[in-house]
Structure 1
Amino acid sequence: MSETTSFGDWLRPALPLLLLRLLIDEPGHGYGLVEKLRAAGISARGTTVYPHLSKLQDAGYITSHWQTPETGPA
């Protein structure tokens, strides 16, 4: 009997590393990171990405700042 692993089985523990990898090259925001993951064929949602970003920030791996755009909502 072969054991199969679903996409979600490996994504949850790998997601923090994927996010850190995306943030090495340039700063990013949650929505943009979700879009980059989707472009790479990884179907992550904001409801999964944002909590991981908070945990990475709490652990001191990333920092954040609030940026108010000149037009549109912050």
Structure 2
Amino acid sequence: IASAKVHDGVCQHCKDILEWKVKYNKYKPLTQPRKCVKCLQKTVKDAYYIICKPCALSMGVCCKCGKEKDVVIP
């Protein structure tokens, strides 16, 4: 299931990390939504992400690390 997951809204470094986790069966999906560090709402639906997609898109940052890097388009 996780191998078919598309990691969008992340920089290349974070994308490589997530793909490694999937490849070596270390990826553990979320069971419940997490709290976004920007808007403080429970809107983060993907594992290892700290910022929800609407916040990351509006600020132009990576959903996983929160840094202003070039976000990879899948």
- Give the TM bin, normalised by the shorter chain: under 0.3
Q: Calculate the TM-score normalised by the size of structure 1.
A: 0.28
Q: Calculate the TM-score normalised by the size of structure 2.
A: 0.28
Higher relative contact order (CA closer than 8 Å, sequence separation 6+): 2
Q: Which has the larger radius of gyration?
A: 1
